[in-house]
Amino acid sequence: MYLRRRVSSVLATAALATALVAPAASAAPTTTASTGTRSLAAVLTADGNTFDRNWYDYDILTEAVLAVLAAKPDSPVGVLADGTVPLTAFLPNDRAFQVLVADLTRSWPSTEQKTFSTLASTVGIDAIEKVLLYHVVPGVTIDSRTALRSDGASLSTALPGASFTVDVLSARFKLVVLRDNDKNDVNPILNPRALDINKGNRQIAHGIVFVLRPVDL
């Protein structure tokens, strides 16, 4: 698949990803010791890379990454295919993208494919790329144990100059809100049932409910 074939060509992206890391903010979480090199691209495409009827996996996200790389092969989004580069990603499920499209268009697409098509035609590839980069925190591998101890941390993302804040409402119940740059809409929360995806590797991910928004939409 396209995303997997990108692995050999994104080694140069590693340097770019490093350059994208902004100076660490106060109270920022530290990197966990993870050495595996399985990429998040391999995780996202492991289910066959197709749209389905399960709104709680990551098909739309996967297709969004593929679409960006098809249009812009040198996009820093390609770092997701290089498992040697440490990063933490927050993954909106398909339902989260359906909610985003409904907010943007006031319509509810009935399928994942229609949701993705509507999103792409409404905002364009460049905007999708920015949204994807806003979900990636390069340079650190933040597992859920670390995240639950990071109340108030400001995380610098792979979108230059953009960050979001971690708000731990309950460590016991793993209730964590990610406060983004859209002040008028509901902030994403970590999905307690989808934490530590790809744990043990340098690239780790956590599922989230709703899409992080880098700007006020």
- Residues 156-210: pLDDT tens digits? 999 999 999 999 999 999 999 999 999 889 999 999 999 999 999 999 999 999 9
Which residues neighbour 16 within 8 Å (Cβ) at sequence distance 6 or greater?
A: 76, 79
Confidence band (pLDDT; 50, 70, 90) for 216? confident
pTM: 0.86
Q: What is the mean pLDDT of residues 7-11?
A: 33
Which CATH number belongs to the domain containing residue 70 in this structure? 2.30.180.10
Q: CA separation (Å) from 29 to 2, 111, 155, 195? A: 33, 37, 8, 16
DSSP for 142-157, written as a single string: --HHHHTT-TTPEEE-
Using a 10 angstrom Cβ sphere, with 0-12 exposed, 13-18 middle and 19 or more buried, the burial of residue 121 is exposed
pLDDT at 32 (0 to 100): 58
Show the domain range for 196. Answer: 2-209
Kindly state whether residue 214 falls inside one of the protein's structural domains: no
In a domain, 159, yes or no: yes
| Residue 215 domain flag | no
pLDDT recorded at residue 21: 32
Residue 47 predicted with pLDDT over 90? no
pLDDT band at 4 (very low <50, low <70, confident <90, very high): very low
> What is the per-residue pLDDT across 164-177, written as a single tens digit (0 to 9) for each?
999 999 999 999 99
Tell me which of 11 and 142 has the higher pLDDT: 142
- What confidence tens digit (pLDDT) does each residue in 103-124 have? 999 999 999 999 999 999 999 9
C-alpha dihedral sign at 128, 134, 139, 142: negative
Instruction: State the total domains in the chain.
Output: 1
**Residue 216 included in any domain:** no
Confidence (pLDDT) at 74: 97
